[in-house]
Structure 1
């Protein structure tokens, strides 16, 4: 049976987060669900995987809770996977469901104009529109929309500085923004409107919705889209891409980067090779050795069972 990978979020006022966390942990305690749910006073953000019935049960349970009666606006996406891309089920409480660290930014009160994936090409083809990728630089390097500006941020909290330094509301009449699933853009559009920008648009459902709904032959997307799970990257139709994570530094690696002389599986890659101390290299080598022994024991065990 294939596994459903479901991503969803909703900006909705929440309180009694400890009690809600306990309820959700109990729901995922049967082992059928894997992944992470983030709870904050501003809402919920989740990427979870499991059998279709387990995912349906989670969504139905949330909709029945008084806190989530407004979940008809839930931003929800799903894809198929052969194995769960997560190891366990976690529910975390954080100050924000996506960290921005800007006071008085509330997408429930002020937010930009949502653009459906099927209408996105027409909007960003307008020369009067300034197109901005709100994601981190390493994500942009993997893929982005043709003509999009790269703020070159290391984290989303740096995005307001980019706006203040590079854009002027008086000379930038129309701004369109996008991110992986839409959540960062909701906050970004709220921020820009607070800064005096007049026309602010964002891609509803994010890149993932675009890759799901827009045929590849009509697409203005170039490259792969980074995702925060073991799939690492996806392409059109949400098919897995060819990237893998460096087990030493966590940077996504293309096939070309994995052919680099500085790539040593589990130990180093072109992004961390020069910064790898002798001590860390020894620790990584030992970890790789233990992992290989574990795989050998598992292979022998499975062979004895057949």
Structure 2
């Protein structure tokens, strides 16, 4: 069996758009020692392919970090597979809040040095000495404590469209940037309650252990992140302290947690919290764009990019030759092309 996708991504995108198959979007992570990440990756690709699973998964010696979509009719079969896997059993599955079943259109599993780019030397501290995990209800209570510092562990483009009330939101492009910035910011507050949250919990899992190592006495984290918080709020009737959208790393680029729109279109300044990627493949800038500007600029970030997408495909390829945007699509939103950027 071929252990990677060989079909053009645009073809697969159109196929999933046209499909009426019901799929469930999930995310999970697990820190577990994998002696042979490549072998684990290949077996996982084989098994997940047979289950009809799409998604983006990172595997490393330290564990697995996954965002996937599973055919609804095979969900119970997938749960059984997880519970029977020595490496994956016990991993908490976060279910998407807003889910149209089209979050992913192919399966991609990569072996990396780390499942989370944190820039830390894991041998220098005990990564298992984590902060206290809190439910949504307990999180809300602690967030109200005047001795608590509420900290968003996500990046600028995520916090721009949604965050918890009164949270500190560092203006950073990456998780690894935020760690020393936060440490310096809170150097004289190590006796406070440090209450952290992120999208699904993985960033807090590592950050909580790191900050305990750095001398913070009372470290807490939101179990399951914003995704699990929203589920508990909806199911248990708990007060929702999150305002706006939760940015997600799949085709949806966001799921609404509250009706508040706290950001603006980066092109006209109108209230808007819909992220998109510039349609020019040589740019692919991640930015916020309202429907009117999407129509005016044809899904692009600038008139320059509009001109490029109207060129013959061969000319477009020449222009973007040697340009590798890769995962840089999630580090943007600061371009000088955008008049109303954050």
Which sits farther off after the overlay, 99-108 or 190-199?
99-108
CA displacement at 1:197 relative to structure 2 = 0.4
Q: Which protein is richer in helix relative to its size?
A: 1
Aligned-pair RMSD on alpha carbons?
Answer: 2.9
1:224 maps to 245
TM-score (norm 2): 0.72
- Counterpart contact for 1:133–1:177, Cα < 8 Å: yes
Match of 1:164 among 183, 190, 211: 183
1:253 maps to 288
Using a 3 Å threshold, how does the CA distance of structure 1 residues 47 and 246 change in structure 2: closer, same or farther? same
Give the secondary-structure state (helix, strand or coil) at the position aligned to 2:310. helix
Whether 1:81 and 2:114 are equivalent positions in the alignment is no
- Distance of 1:209 and 1:163 partners within structure 2: 24
Which sits farther off after the overlay, 172-181 or 49-58?
49-58
- Distance of 1:287 and 1:113 partners within structure 2: 56
Whether 1:3 and 2:28 are equivalent positions in the alignment is no
Give the secondary-structure state (helix, strand or coil) at the position aligned to 1:157. helix
Aligned length: 274
- Counterpart contact for 1:34–1:84, Cα < 8 Å: no
CA displacement at 1:54 relative to structure 2 = 3.4
- Distance of 2:294 and 2:300 partners within structure 1: 12
2:321 maps to none
- Distance of 2:312 and 2:104 partners within structure 1: 20
Match of 2:194 among 175, 188, 211: 175
CA displacement at 1:250 relative to structure 2 = 3.8
Which sits farther off after the overlay, 25-34 or 124-133?
25-34
1:15 maps to 35
- Distance of 1:221 and 1:263 partners within structure 2: 32
Give the secondary-structure state (helix, strand or coil) at the position aligned to 1:29. helix
Give the secondary-structure state (helix, strand or coil) at the position aligned to 1:232. coil
1:291 maps to none
1:266 maps to 299
For structure 1, the 5+ residue unaligned runs are 289-306
CA displacement at 1:214 relative to structure 2 = 0.9
Give the secondary-structure state (helix, strand or coil) at the position aligned to 1:149. coil
CA displacement at 1:172 relative to structure 2 = 4.6
For structure 2, the 5+ residue unaligned runs are 1-20, 259-271, 314-342
Match of 1:200 among 202, 205, 219: 219
- Distance of 2:64 and 2:309 partners within structure 1: 36
- Counterpart contact for 1:243–1:254, Cα < 8 Å: yes
CA displacement at 1:3 relative to structure 2 = 1.1
Mapping of residues 113-152 of structure 1, within 5 Å: 113-152=132-171
